[in-house]
Amino acid sequence: MPEKPVLEGLETKWDARWETSGTYAFRRDEATRETVYSIDTPPPTASGSLHVGHVFSYTHTDIIARFQRMLGKQVFYPMGWDDNGLPTERRVQNYYGVRVDPTLPYDPNFTPPNEGDGKTTKPADQLPISRKNFIELCERLTEEDEQKFEELWRTLGVSVDWKQTYRTISDDSRRTSQLAFLRNLERGEAYQSDAPTLWDVTFRTAVAQAELEDREQPGAYHTLLFTSQDGDLRIDTTRPELLPACVAVVAHPDDERYAHLIGSEVETPGFGVKVPFVAHPLAQPDKGTGVAMICTFGDTTDITWWRELNLPNRSVLGFDGRFVPEAPEAIATDAGLELYAEMAGKTVFSGRKTLVEALQSSGRIVGETRTITHPVKFFEKGDKPLEIVSTRQWYVKNGGREAEIRDRLIELGRTIDWHPDHMRVRYENWVNGLNGDWLISRQRFFGVPIPVWYGLDEDGNPDYDRVILPSPDQLPLDPSSDVPAGFTAEQRGVAGGFVGEVDVMDTWATSSLTPQLVGGWGGRDDELWNLLTPFDLRPQGQDIIRTWLFSTMVRSMFETGKAPWEHAAISGWILDPDRKKMSKSKGNVVTPQSMLEQHGSDGVRYWAASSRLGMDATLDPQNPKMIKIGRRLAMKVLNAAKFVYQMEGEAGDIANPIDIDMIGDLRDVIESATESLQDYDHAKALDTIETFFWTFCDDYLELVKERAYSGDPVGQGSAIRALRSAINVLLRLLAPYIPFATEEVWSWTNDGSIHLAKWPRIHDLPTSAQSRGMLSAVGEALIMIRRAKTDAKVSQKTPVARAVIEGPSETIGLMEQAASDLAAVGRIEDLQFVAANELGVGELEFVQQEEEASSERQTPLQVVPNEATPEQKAAASEEATQVLDLSELRAELDDDN
C-alpha cells in the first residue's frame, strides 16, 4: 500500500500486468455456449485518429464485458480494424501525395513523394502510381494507425482480448467476404445489373442508399415551354440541363387540367424530341405547374418513373460528371444536334448555362428565374452533389424491391432485445423506407475484390452474362491478376479468353460479416462458430443502424435465417457545447488523447458511463465537469480504501445496529445495480453505486471511525468487519467503471485481478442485515450537527457540552441506536433526543475553550428549519437563532463533498 496513493501512472502499470497475466484472454478450453458471452465488436475505421465518440460508445461496451466476466462468463471480446474503403484511400492520397492510375506497372522500389509531412497536394498534383503500389501504401498506413488506436484503447482500459484481432483487408477477411458473396450469388441473392446508379463524380464510384445524406443547396426554377396539342405547355424545373435526356412528361392521374393530354405526345424545346405525356401518382399537382419532365436521370423519383412506366434510357452524363460526346439517338434535328454539341464535354454547371442561354434566346424559357434552397443528395464523404448515371453494378437483395424479404428482416429485428427499445423503430423505419437493393460494387482500389471473371466473345468484348466463378479453395483472390481455372494468363483480354472484374466490394459488404470474420465461419472453425453464435451483444452507434447493423442482419438472414445477436446496445451521440453533434465534417470533433492524459482514464470512463444507452451526451472540452467528478471519485476510492485498510484491530461479528443497517443498504445496492446491468442500464447502476459510496464515505465512515479506533473488542470488531466488507463489495461494484483505481486498491490486499473476481451477491453479506433507514436518518443528524458548527464559525473538532436533536419519534428511535457514534463524531458530551414534528438540532452548547473563549461561542446555538411555526421561532433567543433550510443544506454539502 503506497504512502500516498495517486492515479497518475496506473494506466501504464496495469495494462502491462493485464497483458502479461492474460487477464482478459478468452479461455476457449474452459468455455461452453452456456458460459460464453460473445460480443460482435464494431471495427473502427483505421484512417486518421479516433474521436471522443469512440471512447464514449466503447466504454459502454466495456462496462458490460467486465460485468459479464465477473459473473463468471468467458467473454469473447475481439477488436477489429476496418481498413479498406474510401476513407483509407483519401487519407493515403493526402498523406503520401499519390493517386491511382490502373494502367501503370508496379514499381517494387517506389518511394512516395510525401510522408505525412503536412504538405497539401491538389488531386491534379498527386503522383500517379500503380494500383498495387497504392494498395501497399494503404496497408502500410493502416498498420501504423491501428497501432496508435490500440495504444489509446489500452490507455482507456478497454478489456478486449488482443489476441482476438482482425483486419477487414486481411487474407482471412477477404476469403470470408468472397465466400459469402459467392454463396449469395449461388442462392440468387446477389446479381449484376445495368441500371441507373447514384454516382460521385469526384471519387468516380457508385454510392449506396445507406451512404446518402441531404444537404441544403441553392437552386433555381426555370420555366420551359414544351409544345403540346394545346400549344405551349409550361414546365418548371431546377435541372434544365437534363432536357436532352427527357423521355416523358408526367402529371398526376387525378389532375383534371391535364387529363386530356395523357396518352398524347409533346415536343421538347430546343431539341425537338417527341416524348409521351404520362400519368403517375408521384406527380405533385400543387408543385410548379403540376407537370414535370422525366429525365434519365435527375433524381431518384426519375428512376422510379423510368422503371415503373417502362421508359427508354437517354443518359447524357458520364462518370466524370460531364456531358458525354454523343447526343442521344432521339435528337434528330440539326438545331438539336448543334445545341447538344455545344454542351458536350462540359460540366453540369457549364452545360446548364449553355442551354439556358440558348432557350432564352429562342423564347422557350419564360418568366423570371426563381432562386430557392432545397435538399440535394450527396455522398456522405463527398463534396459535390451526386449524379445518376447508368452503369453495370453488383447488388445484394435487401428487401428494397421484395416485400417478402423486407417482412423477414422486420420479423428478425423483433427477435432482438434492443437497448433502448425505441432504436428498433429506427431500424424498422429504415427497412420500410428502402427503394432499391444493396449496391455493393465500388469503383475503387483498396478493398475486397469481387471474385468473378467474364468470358470474352469472339470480338474480345466482355460477355457479362457469362460469369466465371472460382472454387472456394481458390479464395482469396484478385481477378485482376489471378487466373480462373481452365485458362492461362495469356488468355487475359484476348478474344475467346477472359477479363477479371476490377471493382471491389463496398466496405459494408465486409463489415456486415464481422460475426463470421471473428467466429470461424465458412469451415474455418466450426466448433468456435457454434460456441459463439448467436452472439450475445452487438454494440454500436445509432448513426450506423442503417448500414452496419442492417447489413449484418441481411447477411445473417440469408446464411442462417436467424438474427446474428440476442441484444443490440445503441449508444447516443456526443454533442458540443452548442448542442450540435460532433463530427469530422463539422470540424467540432474532440480527440480523446489529451483528455485521457489530463484527467486520467477512470475520469473519462466515468463521464461516458454516466449517459444511458441511446442518450446523447454534451462535452465541453474547456470545462469537462463530469470527467472531473469521475476523477474525484477514483481518487476517493484510493483514499477511502487506504483509510479503512490502515485500521488496526481484529474484525468481529457485525453486531452494531448502524453497521447492520449499512450492510443492509449495501445488499440493496448490489441487488439494484446487478438488475440494472443485466438490463444494460449501466448509467442507472452507476448512479446507485456512486450514491451509496458517497454516503458510505461522508456519513458512515465518519460515524464509526472513532469506534473503529476505540479498542473496544465488540464495537471495534463490528465496525472493522463492516468497513472491510463494504470496501470489498464497493471495489467490485465500481470495477467495470473505474478499472484502474479499483485494481490498484484490490492489489493491496488480494492476489489476482479484481476483474476476475466474482461479482458481489447479496448472500455474500449477512442475510440478517436488512436496511431500516437508520444510516439515512443518522446521516441527516450528522449533517445538521456539522452545519450548526459551521454556522457558529467553529471547527468541526470543537467539543460540544450538550446537543438536542428533535424529530419524529420513528426517526428519533433510529438515531438513538447510533447515539454513541453520533456523539463521538460530533464530540458531544451530552447528546439528547426529543420527539417532535420537525427534524432539527434543537440546541448546541459548546464547551468553552480558553484559547477560543468568546461570548458568541458560549451562547447556546438554536437552529430551527424554515418550516418552523412563528411560535417556535419566537421561543428561540433572537440573537442566537438561525433559520436553516435543510434541502439547501444537503445540496450545499453535496457540492462541498
pLDDT at 263: 95
Residue 595 corresponds to which cell in the numbers above? 483528455
Residues 788 and 826 sit within 8 Å (Cβ to Cβ): no
Q: Which residue has the higher pLDDT, 557 or 120?
A: 557
Phi, psi of 45 (to 5 degrees): -70, 125
CATH number of 630-764: 1.10.730.10
pLDDT at 880: 39
Model confidence at 376, in pLDDT bands (50, 70, 90)? confident
Could you give the 3-state DSSP secondary structure of residue 234? strand
pLDDT at 868 over 90: no
The one-character DSSP state at 163 is T
Query: What residues contact 260, with CB distance under 8 A and at least 6 apart?
Result: none
How far apart (Å, rounded) are the C-alpha atoms in residues 475 and 488?
A: 18
C-alpha 44/C-alpha 81 separation (Å) is 6
The DSSP output letter for 748 is H
- The DSSP call for residue 317 is B
Confidence of residue 865 (pLDDT cuts 50, 70, 90): low
**What is the pLDDT at residue 861?**
44
Residue 866 is predicted with a pLDDT of 53
Query: CA–CA separation, 792 vs 64, rounded Å?
Result: 48
Report, as an integer, the average pLDDT of 147-170. Answer: 93
Q: Where are the alpha helices (DSSP H) in 291-446?
A: 300-308, 334-343, 348-361, 403-413, 423-432
Three cell numbers, residue 514: 464481422
- By DSSP bridging, strand 274-279 and strand 265-267 are antiparallel
Angle, helix 682-695 to helix 601-609, in steps of 10 degrees: 120
Instruction: Kindly tell me if the per-residue pLDDT of 357 is higher than 50.
Output: yes
779/388 Cα distance (integer angstroms): 70
Q: How confident is the model at residue 897 (pLDDT cuts 50, 70, 90)?
A: very low
- What does the pLDDT look like over 103-136, one tens digit per residue? 788 999 999 998 877 666 677 788 999 988 998 9
Tell me the pLDDT band of 50, cut-offs 50, 70 and 90.
confident
Cell representation of residue 857: 461561542
Least confident range of 119-133, 712-726, 848-862: 848-862
Phi/psi for 295 (5° steps) reads -120, 155
pLDDT at 892 over 70: no
- With 90 as the cut, is the pLDDT of residue 847 above it? no
Q: Whole-angstrom Cα distance, residue 568 to residue 421?
A: 9
Report d(CA 502, CA 476) in Å as an integer: 15
Cα–Cα distance measured from residue 742 to residue 573, given in angstroms and rounded to the nearest whole number = 28
Q: Is the pLDDT of residue 856 over 70?
A: no
DSSP β-ladder status, 535-541 and 565-571 = parallel
Taking the C-alpha atoms of residue 18 and residue 464, their distance in angstroms, rounded to an integer, is 54
pLDDT on residue 324: 94
Specify the residue for cell string 477514483.
634
Report cis status (omega within 30 of 0) of the bond before 196.
no
Using the predicted structure, report yes or no on whether residue 95 has a pLDDT greater than 50: yes
CA–CA gap between residue 679 and residue 67 (Å, rounded) = 12
Name the one residue in this structure whose C-alpha cell is 505525412: 116
| β 535-541/212-228 pair status | unpaired
What's the pLDDT score for residue 872?
A: 55
The C-alpha cell 503520401 sits at: 96
Rg of the chain, C-alpha, whole Å: 36
In 773-799, which positions are buried (b, 16+ CB within 10 angstroms) versus exposed (e)? Answer: ebbebbbbbbbbbbbbbeebebeeebe
Q: What pLDDT is attached to residue 373?
A: 87
Q: Return d(Cα 429, Cα 445) in angstroms, integer.
A: 33
pLDDT for 89: 85
The pLDDT value recorded for residue 165 is: 94
Q: Which of 254, 252, 279, 278 is nearest to 266 (CA)?
A: 278
> What are the tens digits of pLDDT across the range 232-290?
999 999 999 999 999 999 999 999 999 999 999 999 999 999 999 999 999 999 999 99
Please, what sign has the CA dihedral across residues 676, 681, 686, 687? Answer: negative
pLDDT, tens digit (0-9, with 9 covering 90-100), for 454-490:
999 998 989 999 999 999 999 999 998 899 999 999 9
Show the cell assigned to 825.
463524531
CB contact at 8 A, 168 and 43: yes
Instruction: Report the pLDDT averaged over residues 384-391.
Output: 86
Provide the pLDDT for residue 194.
82
Q: CB-hemisphere CA count at 13 Å for 153?
A: 25
pLDDT value for 119: 67
Residue-level length of the chain: 897
68-77, 122-131, 818-827 — most confident range: 68-77
Q: Which residues, listed in sequence order, are joined to residue 881 by a DSSP beta bridge?
A: 862
Query: Would the pLDDT of 849 be above 70?
Result: no
Q: Is 444 exposed, middle or buried (0-12, 13-18, 19+ CB in 10 A)?
A: buried
Q: Is residue 741 a contact partner of residue 637, using CB atoms and an 8 Å limit?
A: yes
pLDDT, one tens digit per residue, over 181-208 is 999 999 999 999 887 888 888 877 888 7
Residue 720 has pLDDT above 50, yes or no: yes
Backbone phi, psi, residue 406, to 5°: -60, -45
Write the CA distances from 829 to 333, 413, 816, 825, 844, integer angstroms: 112, 67, 15, 11, 11
- Residues 165 and 76: their CA atoms lie apart, in Å, by 11
What are the residue boundaries of the structural domains of the chain, listed by start? 86-141, 222-367, 451-502, 630-764, 774-896
Most confident among 294-308, 656-670, 835-849 (mean pLDDT): 656-670
Which residues, in sequence order, are CB contacts of 662 under 8 Å at separation 6+? Answer: 696, 700, 722, 726, 775
Percent of the chain with pLDDT over 70: 93
Query: Which DSSP helix (H) or strand (E) runs through 10?
Result: helix 10-21
Residue 864 confidence class, pLDDT cut points 50, 70, 90: low
Pair type for strands 462-468 and 453-456: antiparallel
pLDDT tens digits for range 484-523: 999 999 999 999 999 999 899 999 999 999 999 999 999 9
Three-state SS across 647-686? CCCCCCCCCCHHHHHHHHHHHHHHHHHHHHHHCCCHHHHH
Judged by DSSP in three states, 136 sits in: helix
Is this prediction's pTM over 0.75?
yes
3-class DSSP assignment, residue 74: strand
* Neighbouring residues of 207: CB distance < 8 A, sequence distance ≥ 6: 197, 198, 199, 200, 379, 382, 386, 439
pLDDT in tens, 746-795: 999 999 999 999 999 998 887 777 778 889 888 888 888 888 888 888 88
Please provide the average confidence, as pLDDT, over all residues in the chain: 89
The enclosing H or E element of 746 equals helix 739-749
The percentage of residues in the chain with a pLDDT greater than 90, rounded to a whole number, is 61
Cis amide prior to 476 (ω within 30 degrees):
yes
Burial (CB < 10 A; 0-12, 13-18, 19+), residue 530, is exposed
Other CB atoms within a 10 A radius of the CB of residue 120 amount to 8
Return d(Cα 320, Cα 566) in angstroms, integer.
Answer: 45
Beta bridge partners of 844: 803, 861
Query: What whole-number distance in Å separates Cα of residue 815 and Cα of residue 778?
Result: 5
Q: Cα–Cα distance between 715 and 657 in angstroms, integer? A: 10
Please give the Cα distance from 775 to 781 (Å, whole number).
10
Judged against a pLDDT cut of 80, whether residue 587 lies above it is answered with: no
Residue-level pLDDT at 90: 83
Q: Alpha-carbon distance 329 to 273, whole Å?
A: 10
In whole angstroms, give the CA distance from residue 37 to residue 26. 10
Pick the CATH number of 222-367 from 3.40.50.2000, 3.40.630.30, 3.30.300.130, 3.90.740.10: 3.90.740.10
State how far the Cα of 437 lies from the Cα of 393, in Å rounded to an integer: 11
**617 vs 36, more confident:** 36
Segment 630-650 mean pLDDT: 94
Angle formed at CA 706 by CA 705 and CA 710, multiple of 5 degrees: 120
Identify the pLDDT of residue 860.
43
CA 234 from centre of chain: 49
Q: Which residues pair with 227 in a beta bridge?
A: 232, 267
User: What pLDDT is recorded for position 121?
Assistant: 67
